[in-house]
Amino acid sequence: MKLDRIIRKARTISERYCVTDGGKFDLGRIDPGDTGGLKAEDKPRAREALQSGVQALAALQDMLYAQDRWAVLLIFQAMDAAGKDSAIKHVMSGVNPQGCQVTSFKVPSAEELDHDYLWRCQKGLPERGRIGIFNRSYYEEVLVVRVHPELLERQKLPAGLVGRKIWEHRYEDIRNFERYLSRNGTLIRKFFLHVSKQEQKRRFLERLEKPEKNWKFSAADVKERDYWDDYMEAYEDMVRQTAAGHAPWYVVPADNKWFTRIVVSAVVIEALGSLDLKYPEAAKEKIAELVAARRALMAQK
Ligand code: ATP
Ligand code: MG
């Protein structure tokens, strides 16, 4: 399939899940089981489409790298077992590892807690020409920390700065940070992989039952399910407060992994396709240099 056609198709898919104006965003209206009208029997076709997507992405990334103007930041947020890792693995499987870097943000270390919360994220930002993937991000500061405000104590903030308005301030700072990045040539796309509580339970049970998945199981993750509704509220508020044209949220149905990957792949292709990427053209002097080099090489034995 031609690249242009794939980009057009990707745009149609990604638009359905895109939130650029969070004002009226209602998470309750998004069905985690949605498959965009595709059925289980369409899976093989979906797999083929994903494969063409992977190739298209590789071609676009090659130009992104060569052009060396834009940086691309992809942010992934989700409840546990929503499929962040596998979506990243599948969608990025064809790209040149040199042009792509993944940073996973875990519970902050003592050194990280000695700094403002954006510090550790800034260190992972992609250079021009590269795709940077954040597996979790500074958004944890308005998700897990909001659901468990006692975590704020570990952050060693001066007392006067931790007040009723702290979440409002964090949204504002995040909005400003993303505006700043976009004004400096970083294209931002944010994914919330939306899994249902029921499907999460099924995946946790699978982690318990299959020996090769045991390592992924954590009893703390099961406890965290008690806070499900608080998390959903925090996610909804996060999208409402931080969706923007230059930094949209994609709320991706995540109960069916094959469909999640299609949507994520479409969004990344659409994003790169929107950049008008081209290979840099060689300047006149450069062409003369190439011709001379060719002549010199041909003259050698
Ligand atoms: P997996 O799917 O393998 O479980 P994961 O992304 O959940 O991957 P974990 O090793 O479980 O990785 O660690 C992430 C944990 O760190 C999450 O529970 C997350 O909420 C927590 N975390 C991330 N950032 C922060 C933060 N700023 N403050 C407190 N907790 C955080
Ligand atoms: Mg985890």
Q: 43-83 pLDDT, tens per residue?
A: 898 889 899 999 999 999 999 999 999 999 999 999 999 99
- At residue 45, the pLDDT reads 87
Q: Please give the tally of structural domains in the chain.
A: 1
pLDDT (tens digit, 9 = 90+) per residue, 170-191? 999 999 999 999 999 999 999 9
Instruction: Assign 289 to helix, strand or coil.
Output: helix
Q: pTM of the prediction?
A: 0.95
Angle at 117 between CA 114 and CA 120, to 5 degrees: 85
Quote the CA–CA distance of 201 and 211 in Å, as a whole number: 17
Which pLDDT score is estimated for 91?
A: 87
At 1 the pLDDT is 65
CB 57 within 8 A of CB 265: yes
Ranges assigned E (strand) in the chain = 18-19, 71-78, 100-104, 131-135, 186-194, 249-253
Q: Which atom of ligand 1 is the closest one to the Cα of 141?
A: 27
Helix then strand then coil, % of the chain, to nearest 5: 60, 10, 30
pLDDT attached to residue 129: 97
| Mean pLDDT value of segment 7-31 | 95
pLDDT at 176 (0 to 100): 98
Q: 242-289, pLDDT tens digit by residue?
A: 999 999 999 999 999 999 999 999 999 999 999 989 999 988 898 999
d(CA 219, CA 224): 9
Q: Which ligand 1 atom sits nearest the alpha carbon of residue 144?
A: 20
Give backbone dihedrals phi and psi of 116, rounded to 5 degrees, phi first: -65, 160
Which amino acid appears at position 68 of this protein? D
Which residue, among 236, 218, 222, 103, has the nearest Cα to 167 in the 3D structure?
236
Q: Which residue's CA is the nearest one to ligand 1's atom 29? A: 107
Look up residue 116 and give its amino acid. D
Residue 45's CATH number: 3.40.50.300
Distance between CA 186 and CA 178 in Å, rounded? 9
Residues 6 or more apart whose Cβ sits within 8 Å of residue 104? 135, 136
Neighbouring residues of 139: CB distance < 8 A, sequence distance ≥ 6: 75, 77, 174, 190, 238, 242
Ligand nearest to the CA of 106: 1
- Of 111, 140, 214, best ligand 1 pocket probe by most atoms within 8 Å of the beta carbon: 140
Q: Which ligand is nearest to the CA of 104?
A: 1
Is the CB of residue 94 less than 8 Å from the CB of residue 54? yes
Structural domain range at position 81: 2-299
Percentage of the chain with pLDDT > 70? Answer: 100
Q: Which residues contact 59 (CB under 8 A, 6 or more apart)?
A: 3
d(CA 83, CA 146): 22
Mean pLDDT, the chain, whole residue set: 95
Mean pLDDT, range 160-169, rounded to an integer: 94
The tens digit of pLDDT for each residue in 105-142 reads 999 999 999 999 999 999 999 999 999 999 999 999 99
Within 6 A (CB) of ligand 1 lie: 80, 85, 105-108, 135-136, 140-141, 144-145, 151, 216
| Mean pLDDT, range 199-206, rounded to an integer | 97
Consecutive H or E run containing 260: helix 257-273
